[in-house]
Chains A and B, each alone.
Chain A
């Protein structure tokens, strides 16, 4: 519980800072995946809440206090872990997909630079 003691001394974020709901487009996408999975009955609110809180607790245990900005980083990590635990995908499949996406991006950029 040492982490909690430290948390008790952290200062609060200002309520004045008005930020958009999603700071980056990927955050909106990661959010929408979870909503879709819940709405289609593939994921319950309970399970998601448990998984997200486990991810947040683990991060706090590592001393990575969430300043709100990193919130969706933990959200994404919880979502990846969910899909792997459920054997919907596997870590290596996700890694391959990332590589394929990266290659596709490079290719598209090359194409755009070539075009007049």
Chain B
């Protein structure tokens, strides 16, 4: 960790002071805040997005609806926490690879992926993903064929993106539950693929 203990103690003090002031003024409720943390640490996570992806692999109609209006489909699955934010699903194909970034800050589809990983919030990723996505992907260990088009989606406060990775080969006959377990968080950001075929 870059920060030493005294700095952490200072951030802790600043946060507690701010929370005290806001609580006194009735703007936040510490009990509700605890519930928010609990929810984001334990309940919401990539397994939610993985479930949507897995179903889209086995059900073409579901896939069509997910691509047309991911927010509506997620709502049907009782995924909440969208506020005013739209959710858009983009599908990887043998000829298109999608990568999600937030160049401004760290907008991320919290409701379906949980909290963003550290590398996603990193300045280097935020700057470079739009400038040279192929190099970024290569550094992540994903060497795409030249014919594969890379599409970079810059998230905003209004729109968040979910990548539907390609279904890996050799998974015929697997149940939705089994498939869900194969879908990784990073594959739904576009930082990795689950497929072996189509890429070197």
Contacts and interface: CB of A to CB of B under 8 A. Distances in A.
B83 A36 contact: no
A22 B27 CA distance: 23
Contacts of B13: 98, 101-102
**Interface on chain B toward A: helix, strand, loop, or mixed SS?**
helix
Contacts of A93: 21
A83 B15 contact: no
Contact of A15 (B25, B117, B132): B117
A42 interface: yes
A66 interface: yes
A35 B1 CA distance: 26
A22 B41 contact: yes
B123 interface: yes
A20 B122 CA distance: 15
Given A12-B140, A36-B36, A69-B118, A26 B11 contact: yes
Contacts of A46: 84, 157-158
B107 A35 contact: no
A49 B1 contact: no
Contacts of B122: 12-13, 66-68
Contacts of A110: none
B121 A24 contact: no
B157 A45 contact: yes
Contacts of A89: 18, 21-22, 25
Interface of B: 1-3, 8, 11-22, 25, 27-29, 32-34, 36-37, 40-41, 83-85, 104-107, 114-115, 117-119, 121-125, 127-128, 131-132, 136, 139-140, 156-158, 186, 191-192
